A and B are shown apart, each in its own frame.
Chain A
Amino acid sequence: MMVLGRYKCLFWVIIFAIRFSEIQAQPNLDTVRIDSLHQTFDKENTAQPEPMFGAEYERILDKADRAFKIGLYKQAGKYYKEAAKINPNSIYIQYRLKEIENRKSNLRNFFFYFDFEKPDILIKSITYLVIYFIASMLLILLVILIHRNQMDSVEKRKQVLREKYQSLLVDFLFSTDNASKVPSDIKKIASSLFNRRILIDQMIDLSINLSGETKDKLRNLFFALKLERDSIRKVYNRKWHVKVKGFHELAFMDIVEANDQIIRCLQSKNDIIRMEAQLAMVRLGHGDSFGFLDHLSKPFTLWEQLTVYETIMFHNLPIPHFDRWLYSKNKTVVQFALRMIEIFKQREAYPNLFWMLVNDDNEIRNLTIRTIGNLKIKDALPHLKRLYKNETYQNCLAIVQAIAKMPDEKILHFLTLVIDKEEDVQLQIEAAMAINNMGEIGRTALQKLLNSDYKNYQIIIKHVLDKRIA
């Protein structure tokens, strides 16, 4: 928005400048000087005193002078000729007319050939812009073609190398001979920067998909070729996206160097770098690697949460007790803790979960209810029942869905009440599904409802009983 504002002002300034040059304004100092100029001119060049030719003459001369000044030569010529009719002896006018003739024959002034009846400056700027547009267009075309050529050849080369390296790597990794020495051809590749980059990319690709002995072999090869230096160099690069790539490479190869740089990046002003540095710390698993969650004031986005989760899984890191962060002031950290508790089935956290059920924030309560449901914590059933009547619609839905995951006959009555009292179809359907999960007792209850003509029961039960609906 700021960008627009600045340029808009500039544009208006230009408009004003053009306008000023065209304005039929009050005589200003310049024109006064010209007036006096032509009078003194004539005075100097003639013996007789200047006769007065009237206001009309002055006015025409005025117009002519102004037109001449801004470059409207044809118009100026016209006015001068008119004035000459009134004062045929004016040397000033003849002088001016001669000048106009000169300029006419001056081939360089092409603007004179075409009478644009517009300020000189406007015509000039438009013409220059046209030339600029054409020139820039040709230049861009050149750039595009060169770029395309370059990209094509580089891409071809890369493709050839990629396939070659893939074969080499796979051959090496699965070779049956126990030679632990590095084949010489792979060594040769690692000597050129361009080749090395492609090799590293292929090795990283492989390392994502492989584990076990083969991965160790890969890793040893990586170190034997001293490729970790490239990754570390990336981490020290000034461009942020290169830095992040470096972090990732270090992670895939389980390299623990470059700690000081990572620690420095923890303080970076760039959000992305800071998050990546934090992730790198998590991966390194030094001491309390999740400690950053304690101090995190910025929102911990879902994407970042997922990356942390993936890091834990990929590197088989020790899993902390996530209920530690349930009382964080940062809402997103609490949400993260809840999700992790659910995924890692940390049922021992349930006393704390009960506190979360009465948290002020709707979304946190929602997530807690879902977690309780997915962990099948039956102890929570009476609490959920109690909370139902004061909850938001979304959370009521979540409660019923959670109950559906841990069906218990004690709650049957509550569920039938839901079907009966609630207007919203979704709630009714979820409640019926929960009853359906209760085994024999549930099915009998549903049959009873099915046979009744009351309200919309029949359609609901039919929907619920249809196993084909996911």
Chain B
Amino acid sequence: MKILICEDDLMTLKALEHKLKNDGYETITVHDGKQAIEMLNTQKGIDLLLTDLHMPLISGLELISHVRNEMKSHMPIVMLTRVGLEDTVLHAFELGADDYITKPFSPEELSLRIKRLLLKSRN
């Protein structure tokens, strides 16, 4: 299973990549929304998108909208966000995200949620 991780904070990105690799997934990492869209266009077989909401250039919200509307894809989308941004989270759900996890996050919890979502999407 391939996961696209989109996060502008390098440390977090590394941590996410490592954790998911340990769990046995194939990971693609990008720093911002623009690179993410490029990856989505060029790479095949991405099963899940994990993205931060606040990024320079193209925001996470735009990315979600792109996946759902332009690409018409049903891949599960998990958002990463800082605690307290309730309305942005709601907005993201409106746009089609499936789940969200707040920073500071527990990598174990994230792993479980991703597993669950991937299972659901396969069925």
Contact = CB atoms under 8 A, between A and B. Distances in A.
Most buried by A among B11, B22, B103, B106: B11
B25 interface: no
B104 A174 contact: no
Interface string A101-128: 0000000000000000000000000000
Contacts of A170: 14-15, 18
B11 A206 contact: yes
Contact of B107 (A166, A167, A176, A210): A210
Interface string B1-37: 0000000011110110011001000000000000000
A286 B84 CA distance: 26
Given A171-B18, A174-B18, A313-B84, A209 B12 contact: yes
Nearest to A203: B11
Contacts of B11: 166, 202, 205-206, 209
Nearest to A171: B18
Interface string B91-118: 0000000000001111111000000000
A214 B14 contact: no
B108 A213 contact: yes
B3 to A, nearest CB: 15
A317 to B, nearest CB: 14
Nearest to B14: A170
Contacts of A267: none
A215 B106 CA distance: 8
Contacts of B105: 209-212
> Chain B interface residue count: which class?
10 to 19
Nearest to B103: A209
A210 B22 contact: no
Contacts of B103: 208-209
B19 A174 contact: yes
A167 B14 contact: yes
B22 A214 contact: no
B31 to A, nearest CB: 15
Contact of A208 (B10, B84, B104, B106): B104
Contacts of A202: 11
Nearest to A202: B11
A214 B106 contact: yes
Nearest to A208: B104
Interface string A200-229: 001001111111111100000000000000
Contact of B104 (A166, A173, A209, A213): A209
A440 to B, nearest CB: 24
Contacts of B71: none
A273 to B, nearest CB: 26
A210 B83 CA distance: 12
A211 B104 CA distance: 5
Interface in A220-240: none
A151 to B, nearest CB: 21
Contacts of B106: 210-215
A167 B19 CA distance: 12
B85 to A, nearest CB: 12
Given A174-B22, A210-B104, A213-B108, A313 B15 contact: no
A314 interface: yes
B114 to A, nearest CB: 15
B109 A212 contact: yes
25 contacts: A166-B10, A166-B14, A167-B14, A170-B15, A170-B18, A173-B15, A174-B18, A174-B22, A174-B107, A176-B22, A205-B11, A209-B11, A209-B15, A209-B104, A210-B104, A211-B104, A211-B106, A212-B107, A212-B108, A213-B106, A213-B107, A214-B15, A214-B107, A313-B83, A314-B104
Given A170-B14, A174-B22, 9 more contacts: A166-B10, A166-B14, A167-B14, A173-B15, A176-B22, A209-B104, A209-B105, A211-B105, A214-B108
Interface of A: 166-167, 170-171, 173-174, 176, 202, 205-215, 313-314
Interface of B: 9-12, 14-15, 18-19, 22, 83-84, 103-109
